[in-house]
Structure 1
Amino acid sequence: MKAVQLSKYDQQPELVEVPEPEITGPLDVIVRIGGAGVCRTDLHIIEGQWEQKSGVVLPYTIGHENAGWVHAVGDAVTNVAVGDPVILHPLVTCGLCAACRDGDDVHCAGSRFPGIDSDGGYAELLKTNARSVVKLDPSLEPAAVAALADAGLTAIHAVRKAAAHLRPSQKVVVIGAGGLGHIGIQVLRAMSAAEIIVVDRSWEALALAEELGAHHIVRADGEQIDAVKDLTGGNGAEAVLDFVGEGGAVEDGVAMLRRAGSYYVIGYGGRIDVPTIDIISTEINFVGNLVGSYSDLSELMVLAARGLVTLHTARYPLEEFASALHDLEQGKVRGRAILVP
């Protein structure tokens, strides 16, 4: 089968022929990929940022946002059948460790992360397990929702934390209205009545944010902190969801918080450098966010089926993966790039 594999860090991946995955265990599921999201993390992987953390052996197939149709199943799989449309939770989890038993499968002690530390979905077929597949509503097409498997899942994971504390009279700042942020805005609208302020450098991204329900848009032109302070009566927002995490966004996000506010770290690449006295004197909180749980993904698919969350996509044939990666790096993708085998 065809697959896009990384054979050396800091070099362009290659489209190669590799053996098809096979069923070897009773709970195995092989999925025929209908769409694979192109994520900024893929760029970081290619650059080698994940080399030490993932420990993956090269070459391997990248791609961790995947959806498609069930191609084959092990003899103990009962939740899906061959031909079912599915989206894949990005982690392949054990179901037996303490975290899985608690429903916190994001922190499974024995998980694999296809596309990060094992073969992913920039390919025609992907092997996962029965615990990782969420059956799609008939109204949802795999390529249209594939990137929700990580971008959307990460967004809902962070928004659920923030929404649990936000009241209708309060304000939340979203930094970045791109691939993750435009999903986060929609999830916020569905799960919270708080007033949403979106900050981005791009007028196009801000226009999309406004279409999706942002109450206020602020261009990051050097005056964004003052603009947010004006919109919050000089106090700052109760919550900041940072979908960028680098290039000055971290410093901006912390400055946009009010006392006892919470800063949700979603995008990454930068550093948090805040004097400890500033943290304790204002009682601000820093909350890390990885991907969400299987339950998060299931609930996100309910929102998608109801039309409350839609993914803006640009589709590329698998053979044009290099163009998709280039366009993402250059900021030319509106929403999310999707590879379609």
Structure 2
Amino acid sequence: MKAIRLHQYGKDPVLEEVDEPKITDPWGVIVDVEAAGLCRTDLHIVEGQWEPIQHPSLPYILGHENAGRVREVGSAVNNVSPGDTVIMHPLTSCGLCPPCRLGQDSHCENSTFPGVSVDGGMADQLLTNARAVVKLDDGLDPKDVAALADAGLTAYHAVRKAADELFPGSHAVVIGAGGLGHIGIQTLAAITSAEITVVDRSEEALELAQQLGAHHTVRAGDDDAVASQVLDITGGGAQIVFDFVGEQGVELLAPRLLRNRGSHYVVGYGGESRLPTIEIISREINVIGNLVGTYNDLVELMTLTAQGRVKLHTSIYPLDAALDAFHDLDAGRLVGRGILVP
């Protein structure tokens, strides 16, 4: 089968022929991939940022946002059957460790991470397990939802965690209206009553944000000017700032947009948070990390998607043009999410 494999950090991945996966345990599921999302995390993987965390054996297949049709199942699998259309939770979890028992399967102690630690879905087929597959509503097409498996799920997870703080009259600020942010805006509008302000450097992204439910938009540029505008709009700062960028100095701007007792939800990464400890205690502000969501978060997100309340904006590339997609993402030419279709 065809696959996009990473052979060396700092070098472009390669399209090549590899062996098809095989089921080796009773809970295994093989999926014919119909869509694989391209994420900024893939760029960070190529750069080598994830090697100290996941230690994958090179070469391996990239792709951690995957959807398609079930080809084959192991002897113990009864939640999906061959022919079912599914989206995959990014992690394959065990179901037995303490985090799994608590429903926090994204922190499974025995997980694998297809596309990050083991072979992923930028290929014709993907090996996953029964605990990772979510059946899709009949009206959903894999290529329209694949990137929700990570980007959408991560954005939804952050909003879901913050939802109790976003009551009527509250303010949420979204920094970055791209691949993650445009899903965050929609989920904020769907499950909270907050007034939503979006900050981005792209006029096109800000126009999209308004269409998706943003009440206010601010063009990024001079940080002092941005802070002044946001504090004016929010009447002194937001209860929650969702930072979908997390680098290039944005992570330093975000706390300035909070009111006292507010929370900086870090979703994007690559930068470094720096706050004087006296500011943290005197303002009682929080910095909260957000990993990918749980299996149940993905089920809820698919429900919102089937209801038409969340829609992924995509750019489609054939698998053979994967490197074009990587380069377009790296250069900032993508609006929404890049999707590879084998």
Q: 1:125-144 alignment to 2 at 5 Å?
A: 125-144=125-144
Partner of residue 326, structure 2: 325
Structure 1: 4+ residue segments shifted above 4 A: none
Deviation, 1:306, is 0.2
Does residue 258 (structure 1) correspond to residue 223 (structure 2)? The answer is no
Q: 1:1-341 alignment to 2 at 5 Å?
A: 1-222=1-222, 223-233=225-235, 235-341=236-342
Q: Deviations over 1:58-101 (max 9, x none)?
A: 00001100000001000111000001000000000000001101
Structure 2 letter corresponding to 1:266 = V
What's the secondary structure of 1:80's corresponding residue? Answer: coil
Deviation, 1:182, is 0.2
Instruction: Answer with 220-229 or 314-323: which moved more.
Output: 220-229
With normalisation by structure 2, the TM-score equals: 0.99
Deviation, 1:221, is 2.0
Q: Deviations over 1:138-161 (max 9, x none)?
A: 000001100000000001100011
Structure 2 letter corresponding to 1:228 = V
Q: Deviations over 1:210-256 (max 9, x none)?
A: 010100000002121111011022x1111100000011211111100
What's the secondary structure of 1:63's corresponding residue? Answer: coil
Deviation, 1:166, is 1.2
Q: Is the 8 A contact 2:231 2:237 kept in 1?
A: yes
Structure 2 letter corresponding to 1:161 = K
Structure 2 letter corresponding to 1:225 = A
Deviation, 1:286, is 0.9
What's the secondary structure of 1:164's corresponding residue? Answer: helix
CA distance in 2, matches of 1:179, 1:263: 19
CA distance in 2, matches of 1:139, 1:62: 28
CA distance in 2, matches of 1:39, 1:56: 18
CA distance in 1, matches of 2:10, 2:53: 16
Structure 2 letter corresponding to 1:325 = F
CA distance in 2, matches of 1:224, 1:67: 38
With normalisation by structure 1, the TM-score equals: 0.99
CA distance in 2, matches of 1:155, 1:310: 13
Deviation, 1:28, is 0.4
Structure 2 letter corresponding to 1:149 = A
What's the secondary structure of 2:25's corresponding residue? Answer: coil
Aligned length: 340
- Give the share of equivalent positions with the same residue, in percent: 60
Deviation, 1:280, is 0.3
Instruction: Answer with 193-202 or 219-228: which moved more.
Output: 219-228
Instruction: Answer with 222-231 or 175-184: which moved more.
Output: 222-231
CA distance in 2, matches of 1:138, 1:232: 41
CA distance in 1, matches of 2:281, 2:212: 36
Give the gaps of 5 or more residues in structure 2.
none
Q: Deviations over 1:119-142 (max 9, x none)?
A: 001100000000000000000000
CA distance in 2, matches of 1:16, 1:115: 16
Structure 2 letter corresponding to 1:18 = V
RMSD (Å) for aligned C-alpha atoms: 0.6
What's the secondary structure of 2:5's corresponding residue? Answer: strand
CA distance in 1, matches of 2:51, 2:98: 27
